[in-house]
Each structure stands twice: as structure tokens, then as C-alpha cells.
């Protein structure tokens, strides 16, 4: 019997996309992974090479593919939020326009994040007006330019035109395995801890007082994958926006020491000021190359593993950030993931893949 569910994962090489592709395949979806530079890391994923900013490239790549379920998990980082809006809305618009004539799409899922409530990267550190936490889906959009809003609006417009249903997914910091990802806190901290271990340095908290002491949560890429598949196949989830996190909460002042224990390094907490990781890591390129040689590691380009700028933005926020999961729970999504295990599972995987010693 022919498989009726045909998934197109946009951004299949990223943390979210690669974990989602694996989940879809395990649930018997015929799964295509669209990216500019496909890789073979997910078994049974059918790679599609295309440039989302080039309509002709998309038309050629998707000529013989008629997906029933589209999962949008990618974005492009630009210098300003206005550029982010222009480019990232085009990514969504172009793809849905090319698929429109096929009339095959039943569901489109879009992954955004908590900047929906916090504002763009620059805003929440400078605006001074902090949102109410826990963050809830019904909170109104901020009066600030935000590419997430522009992407949502493209999905809504295409849904009106083509009649598909949609879901919006807003994870907190995504923890999971992928290489070459622009926003990868788990791997960034693993690399930082490995360098501390090698050099005898202390594992110094890079973030704010509020983040150190406040309540936080994160999103395991595996639970996000389950959430995406659930929402795209559940009657109760259609045409809704959802927060998605692991389902537990923690304080960094507890978790930081647990992570340090795993690597056998000395943890240092918040002491009077933010000490950015980007500054801490910028002189480590040579050390990392030596470690790659010494331990036979597989990635000598530190920038492909570590994204200190993003970890600094996350951990430097001047407020505690946690999310309300009520919408998902009421609609029937009850999966749970321990956050400490999210990190430790990732660290074990990075060791297995010889990406850290």
C-alpha cells in the first residue's frame, strides 16, 4: 500500500530538522529533507538540494515531490531585523508558492521560538520593558519588528489561499545534536567545558544574575520533533500556536554544577558581572586544533560546533524566562523530558561521534 504521509522537512540539517526527520521516518512518513547542503546523517531521509531564495531552484528540486506535510525549521541570520524580516518571510513565501499548484499540502508546521514574546535578539537586552513570565501563547505580539511575525503571516496567508491547516511551535533554547548549527547551546557548553578540562581552567558562568538565580526551561530537540508530528496529525492541534519545552523547570545555579561534574571541571557561578562566553572562547582556536589532533576528533573548525554569541544572548537575558505549556497539555500532548538528561544524552552523543574528547 502506498504511504499516504509525505513529509518535507525544510532545514533538515539543523538541530530541529534532523531530529524531526528521524522522528517522521520512525512514524512511517516518506520523508524528504530540503537544505542548501544536504548531508547523509539521517538514515532513510531523501535529500533535496534547493535554495529557498531562488524560485526556479525550488521548482526544479520539487518537480516530482508532492508533500502532504511541510515542516519549516530553518531561518537565515542577517545583520538587522528588517533584513531578517525581508529574507525569512521570503523563505516561507517562496516554498509555499511553489507547492501551491500541487494542491497536496494538508498541514504546514512552522518552528519559531520565544523571541515571539521577548522581541528580536537585540530588543530584550535593550528595551527595558520585560514581558510577563511564564510566557503564554495568548500574549499579544510586541510593537517591534520581528521576523517570526512575518513568517507566521506568510503561513496564514498561504493557508487562506490553499486551504491547508497549520501549527506554530515556539520552543525555548533547543538542546540536541547537530553540527554546523547557528544556535547550539548544548554543544557550545560541551566544547567550552572540554577546553576548561584540557587547560585546567574554571567553567565560568557567562550569563546574568537573573538567569543564574531565576527559573528556566529548555526544549530537547527530540521532544520538539514529537510535538511537531503530534500537532500535524492531531485534530485538537489544528490552527493553533504552541509553546513547547521539556515540561520541567530548573535554575542554572543548580544545573551549571551538574554539567561541570559531568566533565570533571570546577564550576564558578555568577560573580558581580556578566562574563561573555564569546570573549572567553575567542582565543581558543589554537587550543582546539591541538585537542583535535591529540584526541583524534572529527571537527577542527570551532565555529561549526560552538555558537558562543547565541549562548551569551540566551544566558545574558535580564529576566528569568520560563514557558507555560497549558495549550499543549489541554490539546493532548503529554510527553515529558528531563532537562539534565537532555544535556547528558547530548554530551554522550558528542563523545561517541568524536566531536569532544
Q: pLDDT for 196-214, tens place per residue?
A: 999 999 999 999 999 999 9
Q: pTM for this one? A: 0.95
Give every residue of the chain whose pLDDT is below 70, as ranges.
1-3, 121-129, 182
Rounded CA gap, 326 and 350, in Å? Answer: 33
Rounded CA gap, 55 and 171, in Å? Answer: 29
pLDDT in tens, 22-35: 999 999 999 999 99
Q: Phi/psi of residue 251, each to 5°? A: -115, 140
Of 32, 71, 115, 197, which residue is the catalytic one?
Answer: 115
> Within 13 Å, how many C-alpha atoms sit on residue 316's CB side?
19
Of 32, 117, 124, 148, which residue is the catalytic one?
Answer: 148
pLDDT in tens, 251-270: 999 999 999 999 999 999 99
Among residues 164, 180, 192, 130, the alpha carbon closest in space to that of 8 is found at: 164
Catalytic (active site) residue 115: yes
Catalytic (active site) residue 148: yes
Amino acid at each position: 500500500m502506498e504511504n499516504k504521509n509525505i513529509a518535507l522537512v525544510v532545514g533538515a540539517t539543523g538541530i530541529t530538522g534532523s531530529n524531526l526527520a528521524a522522528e517522521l521516518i520512525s512514524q512511517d512518513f516518506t520523508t524528504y529533507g530540503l537544505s542548501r547542503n544536504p548531508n547523509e546523517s539521517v538514515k532513510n531521509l531523501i535529500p533535496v538540494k534547493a535554495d529557498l531564495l531562488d524560485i526556479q531552484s525550488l521548482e526544479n528540486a520539487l518537480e516530482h515531490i508532492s508533500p502532504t506535510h511541510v515542516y519549516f525549521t530553518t531561518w537565515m541570520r542577517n545583520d538587522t531585523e528588517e533584513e531578517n524580516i525581508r529574507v525569512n518571510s521570503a523563505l516561507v513565501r517562496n516554498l509555499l508558492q511553489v507547492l501551491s499548484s500541487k494542491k497536496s499540502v494538508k498541514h504546514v508546521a512552522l518552528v519559531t521560538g520565544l523571541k515571539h514574546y521577548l522581541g528580536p535578539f537585540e530588543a530584550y537586552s535593550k528595551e527595558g520593558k520585560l514581558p510577563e513570565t511564564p510566557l503564554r501563547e495568548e500574549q499579544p505580539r510586541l510593537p517591534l519588528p520581528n521576523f517570526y511575525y512575518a513568517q507566521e503571516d506568510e503561513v496564514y496567508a498561504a493557508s487562506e489561499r490553499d486551504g491547508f491547516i497549520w501549527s506554530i511551535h515556539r520552543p525555548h533554547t533547543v538542546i540536541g545534536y547537530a553540527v554546523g548549527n547557528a544556535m547550539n547551546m548544548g554543544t557550545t557548553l560541551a566544547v567550552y567545558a572540554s577546553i576548561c578540562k584540557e587547560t585546567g581552567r574554571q567553567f565560568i558562568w557567562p550569563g546574568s544574575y537573573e538567569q543564574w538565580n531565576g527559573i528556566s526551561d529548555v526544549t530537547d530537540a527530540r521532544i520538539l520533533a514529537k510535538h511537531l508530528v503530534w500537532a500535524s496529525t492531531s485534530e485538537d492541534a489544528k490552527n493553533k500556536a504552541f509553546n513547547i519545552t521539556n515540561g520541567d523547570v530548573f535554575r542554572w545555579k543548580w544545573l551549571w554544577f551538574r554539567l561541570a561534574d559531568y566533565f570533571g571541571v570546577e564550576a564558578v557561578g555568577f560573580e558581580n558581572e556578566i562574563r561573555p562566553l564569546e570573549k572567553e572562547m575567542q582565543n581558543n582556536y589554537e587550543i582546539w586544533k591541538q585537542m583535535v589532533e591529540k584526541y583524534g576528533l572529527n571537527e577542527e573548525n570551532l565555529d561549526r560546533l560552538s555558537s558562543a554569541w547565541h549562548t551569551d544572548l540566551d544566558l545574558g537575558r535580564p529576566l528569568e524566562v520560563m514557558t507555560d505549556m497549558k495549550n499543549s497539555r489541554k490539546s493532548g500532548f503529554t510527553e515529558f523530558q528531563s532537562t539534565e538528561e537532555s544535556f547528558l544524552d547530548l554530551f554522550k552523543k558528542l563523545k561517541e561521534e568524536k566531536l569532544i574528547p
